[in-house]
A and B are shown apart, each in its own frame.
Chain A
């Protein structure tokens, strides 16, 4: 009896998840397999015959990969430096708070930040052009194109890396370094024989996380790039709001499915890596 009433306590949450997580996901996937009349069809997949769609998947992929790799390397260096400061000191506190704000700082405000700091009329741009002779925009206005997304994306990738990778970095036991030193190892041998191998799975895992993060990010691109749909999330937008006149929820569904497939692959590899990483965390 007791158990039944406890189980009833789970009902509200279950119903909520069913209605606002399961149902929308099913509807999104199903919309890829139905036509306007609601009948089953595979016709929507003809979207993938369009080379432009493949190109956007490719753009999304390289953008995500590039920002993930750069973000992971810079973030890991920052974590390394942070292991040297006091855990309850103000530097650490500030970095923690800043990282958690900035990791969430995608979107419209981030786009603004970059428009006004490295845009055409920005202080830094003007200063570099007039005083240093460096013209950021010698090759045209790239900020509003896909390469222009690299810097803004890095701006949330690096903090995300710090949040995710710092615990792994702090998991390196001082005893290991001591053991290495006792055995006559140098800093260098410590890192090549102990540090890097232990951290490798966590690092790669965090890298994948960053990749997924960039791949699914929509708001920043939407606010910066108003013309065209150069990356997949913008293609979904175009299909949803029907930039070409006819809105087509069904092709949005198929594109969404493509994104889910990419994310699923990333997540499977990620979970395998995490299993490996956990070995050193006992």
Chain B
């Protein structure tokens, strides 16, 4: 990169390559292990036998439970997406525009599902779903209500980070003064400006829902992961092949979104943030970080540590800074633009 960086922060090129190569090998070896395993033929040697079997109608019976689980999980993903886009997103925008004082409370609240382990939540979900099972349905679909809570921290951060980079207040006031109502503002003014955040939130939602196991297995509902574990008893090849396939699909989606949204933003409403964000490169990072992005406007960069795995903490939320509107996009999306924009 630039000479500046080589002054002393980044490792020398040979060391950099060595580290990255080692990490890549570490990341790849279990995946290659899976690939190798699925290519083993029953009669010895390698071939596509197990992959073909997966989509052979003759085996429909064998894979029925797993495919039904996959169908359930896809339906759940769809329903959770509705929660994210119709319930969580408008609430974030509403709080951002009308109740800035509630912002910190919301930051804290949305970290709770990470601070409370899923296995603990299950203990509490059990009686709730016993009631739902008796009175509404004992099928798998009602799980979407529980899943909405599980994805909340990730969806919230992805959307809020993007929203902080937009001068939403000015935009919405402009729209309102031109006679737009609240729904028009939300749909036609705010949403297009945070499409990156919405896209990231949606992808994460899908990834989390398809991979969820803790809640569904302990509540005895049939999801993709539950089906996979079950299939593993009878046909480990099929189970491993499906796992690998779903991983590759999600990885490809993330790369695709990274590439599509990677271009510098066009200048938009916001002053500081929008402009600074335009300084290229923000794109690629966005994808990775969104799960982790600190939604806290006042807390840029390093403090980004908040969450990402199902595990972050209320940490950053307790920082003293007050959020400032239009403030720099504190997102990891462009970790540097925060400080630099000011």
Q: Which residues of A from 5 to 48 have beta carbons under 8 Å from B?
A: 6, 9-10, 12-13, 16-17, 19-21, 23-29, 31
Interface string of B272-312 (1 = CB under 8 A from A): 00000000110111011111100000011111111111111
**In the bound complex, how far is the Cα of B128 from the Cα of A171, in angstroms?**
44
- Residue in A closest to B331 when the chains form the complex, CB atoms: A167
Q: Are B310 and A216 in touch, CB under 8 angstroms? A: yes
> Any chain A CB within 8 A of the CB of B336?
yes
With A117-B32, A252-B123 as given contacts, are A277 and B305 in contact (CB-CB < 8 Å)?
Answer: yes
Q: Which of A132-140, A141-149, A205-213 contacts B (4 or more CB under 8 A)?
A: A205-213
A275 to B316, CA, bound (A): 7
Which residue of B37, B251, B313 is within 8 Å of A208 (Cβ)?
Answer: B313
Contact B34 A112 (CB under 8 A): yes
Task: Knowing A107-B213, A218-B117, A267-B313 are in contact, say whether A174-B149 is a contact too (CB < 8 A).
Answer: no
Write out, one digit per residue, whether chain B residues 199-223 have a CB within 8 A of any chain A CB (1) or not (0).
0000010011001011001100000
Question: Please, which residue of chain A has its CB at the minimum distance from the CB of B26?
Answer: A158
Q: How far is the CB of A281 from chain B (nearest CB, A)?
A: 5
| Contact assessment for A223 and B213 in the assembled complex, using a CB-CB cutoff below 8 Å | yes
Chain A hits for B182, CB < 8 A: 9
Contact at B119–A113, with CB atoms within 8 Å?
no
Q: A53 in the interface, Cβ–Cβ < 8 Å?
A: no
Q: Is the CB of A249 within 8 A of B116?
A: no
Q: Kindly provide the distance from the CB of B39 to the nearest chain A CB, expressed in whole angstroms.
A: 10
Which of A87, A168, A186, A190 counts the most chain B CB atoms within 10 A? A87
Residue B315 lies at the interface, judged by CB distance under 8 Å to chain A: yes
Establish whether residues A249 and B126, one from each chain, have CB atoms under 8 Å apart when the complex forms: yes
Please give, as numbers and ranges, the residues of chain A lying within 8 Å of B290 by CB-CB distance: 100
Question: Which of A24, A96, A107, A206 touches B128 (beta carbons < 8 Å)?
Answer: A24
Do A216 and B311 touch across chains, with their CB atoms under 8 A apart? yes
Cβ 8 A contact of A103, one of B128, B243, B309, B320: B309
- Report chain A residues within 8 Å CB of B36: 116-117, 123
The A-contacting residues of B in range 94-126, CB under 8 angstroms, are 94-95, 98-99, 102, 109, 112-113, 115-126
Least distance between A222 CB and chain B CB atoms (Å): 7
Task: Flag whether B15 is at the interface (Cβ < 8 A).
Answer: yes
What is the CA–CA distance of A100 and B309 in the complex, to the nearest angstrom? 9
Secondary structure dominating the interface of B:
helix
Judge whether B304 and A167 touch: CB under 8 Å.
yes
Q: Which residue of B lies closest to A3 (CB)?
A: B98
The reply to whether B315 and A78 form a contact with Cβ atoms under 8 Å apart is no
What are the residues of chain A within 8 A of B287 when measuring CB–CB? Answer: 93, 96-97, 100
Complex: A97 Cα to B247 Cα, angstroms: 11
Asked if B1 lies at the interface with its beta carbon under 8 angstroms from chain A, I say yes
Name the B residues within 8 Å of A277 (CB-CB). 302-303, 305
> Chain A residues near B31 (CB, 8 Å)?
113
* CB-CB under 8 A for A278 and B321, given A103-B291, A216-B311, A270-B313: yes
B148 touches which of A20, A31, A80 (Cβ 8 Å): A20
Q: Check if B81 is an interface residue, CB within 8 A of chain A.
A: no
A230 close to B (CB within 8 Å): no
Pick the contact of A97 from B127, B213, B258, B317 — CB < 8 Å? Answer: B258
> With an 8 A cutoff between CB atoms, is B318 at the interface?
yes
Output the least CB separation between B182 and chain A (Å): 8
Which of A159, A201, A260 interacts with B120 by CB under 8 Å?
A: A260
B-side contacts of A252, CB under 8 Å:
123
**Complex Cα distance A160/B304, Å?**
12
User: What residues on B are CB-neighbors of A74 within 8 Å?
Assistant: 23, 26
* Contact B30–A91 (Cβ < 8 Å): no
B267 at the interface (CB under 8 A from A): no
CB distance from B237 to the nearest CB of A (A): 9
- Whether A166 is near chain B, meaning CB under 8 Å from some CB there, is yes
- B5-13, B57-65, B167-175: which lies at the interface: B5-13
Q: Quick check: is A84 within 8 A (CB to CB) of the other chain?
A: yes
A273 and chain B: residue at smallest CB distance: B315
User: A95 to chain B: which residues have CB within 8 Å?
Assistant: 20, 288
Which residues of chain B in 15-58 are interfacial with respect to chain A, using CB atoms and an 8 Å cutoff? 15-16, 19-20, 23, 26-27, 29-34, 36-37
Known contacts A108-B243, A170-B335; A87/B284 CB under 8 A: yes
Question: Is B326 located at the chain interface by the 8 A CB criterion?
Answer: no
Mark the stretch among B71-79, B83-91, B133-141 that contacts chain A: B83-91
Pair B284/A88 contact, Cβ less than 8 Å: yes
Cβ A167 vs Cβ B5 within 8 A: no
Inter-chain contacts of B33 with A (CB < 8 A) = 113-114, 116-118, 122-124
Whether A104 and B34, one on each chain, are in contact in the complex, defined by CB atoms closer than 8 angstroms, is no
B225 near A109 with CB under 8 A, answer yes
Quick one: closest A residue to B213, CB to CB? Answer: A219
Contact flag A205-B315 (CB < 8 Å), given A93-B255, A168-B301, A181-B7: yes
Known contacts A87-B281, A222-B213; A281 and B301 CB within 8 A of each other: yes
Query: Which residues on B sit within 8 Å (CB–CB) of A102?
Result: 27
What are 7 A-B residue pairs whose CB atoms fall within 8 Å in the complex? Answer: A10-B99, A81-B15, A82-B20, A158-B23, A209-B309, A212-B311, A282-B300
- Taking A6-B98, A87-B285 as known contacts, 10 extra A-B pairs with beta carbons closer than 8 A to each other, sorted by chain A number, are A6-B99, A17-B109, A19-B128, A25-B112, A88-B280, A106-B211, A112-B243, A163-B292, A259-B117, A274-B303
